[in-house]
């Protein structure tokens, strides 16, 4: 995720200074080569006057992260489920914002959720280079929608895999099967894009390709009788539950 964010920010500004730290020097050196950043070998060497500091490690690494930010430093955290209250206790007198990015950010097509209690409009504009930024009204919203945008790409890839498994068993060449699936997803997203512009709902879109007693109708009926809607709803609720658990685990660590 750190790489995706660095690539996005670099595409916003080719001259902005990007200081990169990772406990593994080779990782920050490799990233620096990709994004044209400056490697910081130890946290003590990190400049103390950066406009923003971005934390992109795993929530579980927060305990081991030791750095004293100057008062009023602005920090952006992408740590899933770690709230501003917990981060403020760890980094007192700083200003903390949260971002829930997703991996399409690396190709400037992310759906990123942002929340801060202070005016961050300039930074939000810069984060636009990652795709779209949706400013949340509360941390609760951000935590809930993490299941959709943060976890979403993996769920979609899993869904696509089920298409591929079927297509690959149809006798066509595997590469062709893959291309059929990719193009089906790509074309459907394009149709969704067009439908959104024209105020056409997802139900209407689905119904446009479903004739009563037809082939697609049968497939949808099979999904219904196998409780597909419940299955997806359970997956989202499980992801949200895990976000809340993670929040408590980090709070009590």
The single residue listed with the structure tokens 């394009």 is 190
Q: Report the nearest approach of ligand NAP to the CB of residue 188 (Å).
A: 22
Which of residues 56 and 120 has its CB atom nearest to ligand NAP in the complex? Answer: 56
Return the beta strands (E) in the chain as ranges.
19-20, 38-39, 53-55, 74-77, 95-100, 110-116, 131-135
Q: 101 vs 123, which CB is nearer to ligand NAP?
A: 101
Reduced to 3 states, what is the DSSP secondary structure of residue 160?
helix
Choose between 86 and 167: whose C-beta lies nearer to ligand NAP. Answer: 86
Shortest distance, position 105 Cβ to ligand NAP, whole Å: 9
Shortest Å, Cβ 66 to ligand NAP = 8
**Closer residue to ligand NAP (CB): 21 or 114:** 21
Nearest residue (CB) to ligand NAP, 127 versus 167? 127
CA gap 5, 38 in Å, rounded: 15
Q: Which is nearer to ligand NAP, 120 or 243 (CB)?
A: 243
Place of tokens 């200003």: 95
Minimum Å gap between C-beta 202 and ligand NAP is 24
Long-range contacts of 245-250 (CB under 8 A, 24+ apart): 245/81, 246/59, 246/80, 246/81, 246/82, 247/81, 247/82, 247/83, 247/86, 247/143, 250/59, 250/60, 250/62, 250/79, 250/81, 250/82, 250/86
Which residues sit at the interface with ligand NAP, rule CB under 6 A? 1-2, 21-24, 27, 56-59, 61, 64-65, 78-80, 100-103, 150
Closest approach, Cβ 68 to ligand NAP, in A, equals 14
CB of 210 to ligand NAP, least distance (A): 33
Q: Is 29 exposed, middle or buried (0-12, 13-18, 19+ CB in 10 A)?
A: middle
């Amino acid at each position: 995720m750190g790489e995706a964010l660095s690539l996005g920010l670099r595409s916003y500004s080719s001259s902005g200074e990007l200081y990169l730290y990772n406990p593994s020097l080779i990782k920050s050196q490799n990233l620096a080569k990709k994004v044209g950043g400056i490697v910081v070998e130890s946290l003590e060497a990190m400049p103390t006057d950066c406009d923003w500091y971005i934390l992109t490690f795993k929530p579980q690494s927060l305990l081991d992260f030791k750095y004293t930010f100057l008062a009023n430093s602005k920090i952006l955290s992408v740590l899933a489920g770690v709230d501003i209250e917990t981060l403020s206790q760890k980094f007192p007198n700083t200003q903390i914002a949260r971002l829930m990015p997703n991996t399409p950010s690396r190709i400037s097509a992310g759906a990123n959720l942002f929340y801060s209690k202070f005016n961050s409009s300039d930074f939000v504009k810069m984060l636009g280079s990652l795709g779209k930024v949706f400013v949340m009204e509360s941390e609760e919203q951000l935590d809930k929608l993490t299941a959709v945008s943060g976890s979403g790409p993996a769920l979609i890839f899993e869904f696509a895999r089920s298409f591929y498994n079927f297509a690959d068993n149809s006798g066509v060449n595997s590469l062709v099967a893959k291309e059929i699936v990719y193009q089906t997803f790509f074309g459907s997203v394009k149709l969704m894009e067009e439908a959104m512009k024209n105020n056409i709902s997802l139900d209407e879109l689905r119904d446009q390709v479903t004739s009563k007693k037809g082939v697609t109708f049968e497939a949808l009926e099979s999904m219904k009788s196998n409780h597909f809607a419940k299955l997806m709803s359970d997956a989202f609720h499980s992801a949200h539950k895990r976000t809340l658990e993670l929040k408590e685990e980090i709070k009590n660590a």
